């Protein structure tokens, strides 16, 4: 027996029982190893489905170009389909994606355009916007838009869900997956819940993403959005493929916890997978510790292979630089705030305040930097005494100008449970401070001095 092309090998990936990383957890924990797909990720499934649907609809014609914004894995799946069917590919990626993903896409003949991460989705520089613009400019091109294309979720409804149901002989009680575009989470959950409405679906989210709060409150809170490193899960938008009615519970996972579990899976289970896989397993096990019973069966999706992350999660130097490698216990951002007596209000300056007034505020309060907010109370920048002093020496009249003329980039938000080693990695170099939002939606600032006090006390 042989296959006529590489795309015929997509699907039918194995279920593997976890043994060591979930010791002490009741029930059976199984993982769906999607890296057995030819493109080494679950995205192969929906890539094929979206292209087939576009062909049926006459949107994609012979010799056409596929253009997509991707975190890398969707691009690989689309590239394999394109090779088999004779299409060209152009992919846009955010610059936080690993170099391995970029190199792999170029190796299979795709053109890759790298775009900045830390911009709004509708910014013309974002990888979403660049992909849409190219689609408008290039004749006979197709923009699959995995975030909103129903073929994404449908692919998992037709393949992943039925495979899991058959492989567990209908015994599955819990399904867990990282949520990014929403396709694998919701397409699979829809099928499984149609077979047994009691099955509980657990979505894994990142700190810095909007999903968990939106599910719990119905509010799209821009204050939840801040940069994070984990690739492939979490979003600063609400993709149409994310059906919150199909997700019973969200669990947030930090970059560090996901990275450490990714390495544990390789060393303790022999399962060499990507960062979001580690996040999914960590979050699912945290849920399982409190909720699973002896007879329960949980299935966790492992989206991709570890080869995409050898320069990051599996690189000791990279892990040390980001404060992820240490295994000993550290105090957290929450502990630092508590040590500072958890001030109720954060001192800020408005972007239209005069620079001279801002300098007086800095001096009066004895602080070296302050966040800058606009008239809607959004954090739009930061101002430091050292930079302002230098500018005023050069031009004393500058004190009558607005702060917005001289402010730096906004301070980065971090999660309340980030540990001191991770916070230290954020504040190495030029970053003077970070911001933290607590459970009461109050914002706090953590400086290098705060960290020093926390370490020495």
- Collect all residues with Cβ–Cβ distance below 8 Å to 74 and sequence separation of at least 6: 43, 46, 47, 68, 144, 146, 181
**pLDDT number for residue 26:** 94
Choosing from 43, 193, 252, 256, the catalytic residue is: 43
Bigger pLDDT: 34 or 384?
34
Work out the mean pLDDT of the chain and round it to a whole number: 89
User: Residue 44 pLDDT > 70, yes or no?
Assistant: yes
Task: State the average pLDDT over residues 108-126.
Answer: 86
CATH fold for domain 43-142: Rossmann fold (3.40.50)
Q: How confident is the model at residue 345 (pLDDT cuts 50, 70, 90)?
A: low
**pLDDT number for residue 247:** 97
In this structure, the number of other CB atoms found within 10 A of the CB of residue 227 comes to: 12
Q: What percent of the chain has pLDDT over 90?
A: 56
Report the C-alpha gap between 24 and 26 in whole angstroms. 6
Considering only CA atoms, give the Rg of the chain.
24
**Taking a C-beta distance cutoff of 8 angstroms, is the pair 304, 230 a contact?**
no
Q: How confident is the model at residue 402 (pLDDT cuts 50, 70, 90)?
A: confident
Question: What is the DSSP annotation of 201-267?
Answer: EEEEEETT-SHHHHHHHS---GGG-------SS--SS--TT--GGG--EEEEE-HHHHHHHHHHIII
Q: How confident is the model at residue 313 (pLDDT cuts 50, 70, 90)?
A: very high
Alpha helix locations (H) across 86-198?
99-107, 127-137, 150-158, 160-167, 183-195
pLDDT tens digits, one per residue of 412-422: 888 888 887 77
Helix (H) or strand (E) holding 413: strand 412-414
Determine the straight-line distance between the first and last CA of the chain, rounded to whole angstroms: 68
**pLDDT number for residue 308:** 86
Q: How confident is the model at residue 428 (pLDDT cuts 50, 70, 90)?
A: low
Break the chain into its structural domains and give their ranges.
9-39+150-321, 43-142, 333-456
43 has catalytic annotation: yes
Report the C-alpha gap between 426 and 432 in whole angstroms. 9
Equal fold, 9-39+150-321 vs 43-142? yes
Q: Which residues of 256-280 are buried (b: 16+ CB within 10 A; e: fewer)?
A: bbbbbbbbbbbeebebbbbbbbbbb
Angle at which helices 43-56 and 183-195 pack, to 10 degrees?
Answer: 90
**pLDDT number for residue 457:** 58
pLDDT tens digits, one per residue of 154-177: 999 999 999 999 999 999 999 999
In 13-126, which ranges are E strands? 15-17, 28-33, 65-69, 88-94, 111-115
Task: State the average pLDDT over residues 217-233.
Answer: 86
pLDDT tens digits, one per residue of 233-276: 999 889 999 999 999 999 999 999 999 999 999 999 999 999 99
Q: How confident is the model at residue 326 (pLDDT cuts 50, 70, 90)?
A: low
Task: State the average pLDDT over residues 275-282.
Answer: 97
- Give the range among 28-37, 57-66, 267-276, 386-395 with minimum mean pLDDT: 386-395
**What number of residues does the chain have?**
457
**pLDDT number for residue 423:** 79
CATH for 333-456 (3.40.50.2300, 3.90.180.10, 3.50.50.60, 3.10.580.10): 3.10.580.10
User: Residue 39 pLDDT > 90, yes or no?
Assistant: yes
For domain 9-39+150-321, the question of CATH label 1.20.1250.20 is answered with: no
**pLDDT number for residue 166:** 98
């Amino acid at each position: 027996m042989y296959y006529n092309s590489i795309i015929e090998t997509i699907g039918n990936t194995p279920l593997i029982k976890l043994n060591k990383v979930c010791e002490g957890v009741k029930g059976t924990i199984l993982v769906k190893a999607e890296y057995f797909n030819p493109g080494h990720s679950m995205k192969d499934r929906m890539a094929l489905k979206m292209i087939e649907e576009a062909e049926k609809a006459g949107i994609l014609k012979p010799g056409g170009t596929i253009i997509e914004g991707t975190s890398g894995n969707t691009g690989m799946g689309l590239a394999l389909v394109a090779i088999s069917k004779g299409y060209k590919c152009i992919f846009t990626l955010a610059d936080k994606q690993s170099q391995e993903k970029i190199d792999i896409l170029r190796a299979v003949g795709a053109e890759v355009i790298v775009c900045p991460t830390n911009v709004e989705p509708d910014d013309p520089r974002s990888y979403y916007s660049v992909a849409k613009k190219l689609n408008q400019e290039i004749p006979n091109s197709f923009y699959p838009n995995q975030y909103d294309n129903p073929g994404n979720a449908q692919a998992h409804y037709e393949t992943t869900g039925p495979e899991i149901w058959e492989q567990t002989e209908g015994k599955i009680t819990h399904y867990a997956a990282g949520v990014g575009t929403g396709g694998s989470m919701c397409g699979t959950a829809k099928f499984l819940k149609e077979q047994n409405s009691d099955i509980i679906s657990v979505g894994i989210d990142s700190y810095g993403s909007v999903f968990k709060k939106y599910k719990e409150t119905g509010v799209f809170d821009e204050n939840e959005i801040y940069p994070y490193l984990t690739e492939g899960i979490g979003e600063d938008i609400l993709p149409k493929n994310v059906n919150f009615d199909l997700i019973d519970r969200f669990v947030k996972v930090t970059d560090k916890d996901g990275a450490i579990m990714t390495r544990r899976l390789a060393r303790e289970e022999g399962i060499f997978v990507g960062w979001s896989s580690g996040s999914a397993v960590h979050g699912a096990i945290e849920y399982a510790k409190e909720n699973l019973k002896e007879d329960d069966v949980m299935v966790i999706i492992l989206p991709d292979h570890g080869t995409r992350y050898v320069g990051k999660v599996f690189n000791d130097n990279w892990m040390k630089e980001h404060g992820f490698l240490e295994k000993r216990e550290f105090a957290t951002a929450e502990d630092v705030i508590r040590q500072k007596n958890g001030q109720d209000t954060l001192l800020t300056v408005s972007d239209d305040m005069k620079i001279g007034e801002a300098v007086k505020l800095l001096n009066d309060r004895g602080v070296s930097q302050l966040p800058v907010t606009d008239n809607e109370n959004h954090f739009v920048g930061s101002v430091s005494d050292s930079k302002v002093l230098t500018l005023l020496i050069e031009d004393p009249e500058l004190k009558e100008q607005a702060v917005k003329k001289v402010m730096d980039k906004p301070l980065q938000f971090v999660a309340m449970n980030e540990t001191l080693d991770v916070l230290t990695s954020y504040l190495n170099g030029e970053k003077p401070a970070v911001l933290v939002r607590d459970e009461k939606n109050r914002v706090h600032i953590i400086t290098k001095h705060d960290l020093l006090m926390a370490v020495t006390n």
